[in-house]
Amino acid sequence: VEFLHCDLASMKSIRQFVQQFRAKNCPLHVLVNNAGVMLVPERKTEDGFEEHFGLNYLGHFLLTNLLLDTLKQSGTHSHNARIITVSSATHYVGKLHLNDLQSRCSYSPHGAYAQSKLALVLFTYRLQHLLTANGSHVTANVVDPGVVNTELYKHVFWVVKVVKWMTAWLFFKTPEEGASTTIYAAVSPEMEGAGGCYLYNEERTKSADAAYDEELQRRLWTESCKMVGISDEASRLP
Query: Where in the sequence numbering do the catalytic residues fall?
Result: 113
Q: What is the DSSP letter of 40?
A: P
CA distance 202 to 51: 29
In 3-state terms, what secondary structure has residue 141?
A: strand
**In what helix (H) or strand (E) does residue 178 lie, and over which residues does it extend?**
helix 175-187
CA distance 207 to 128: 15
The number of beta carbons lying within 10 Å of the beta carbon of residue 113 is 24
Q: How far does Cα 150 stand from its chain's mean position?
A: 18
Spatial neighbors of 107 by CB under 8 A, at least 6 apart, are 42, 50
- In 3D space, the residue among 140, 143, 142 whose CA is nearest the CA of residue 195 turns out to be 140
220 within 8 A of 123, measured Cβ to Cβ:
yes
142 within 8 A of 91, measured Cβ to Cβ:
no
55 within 8 A of 37, measured Cβ to Cβ:
yes
**Tally of helices (H runs) and strands (E runs) in the chain:** 7, 5
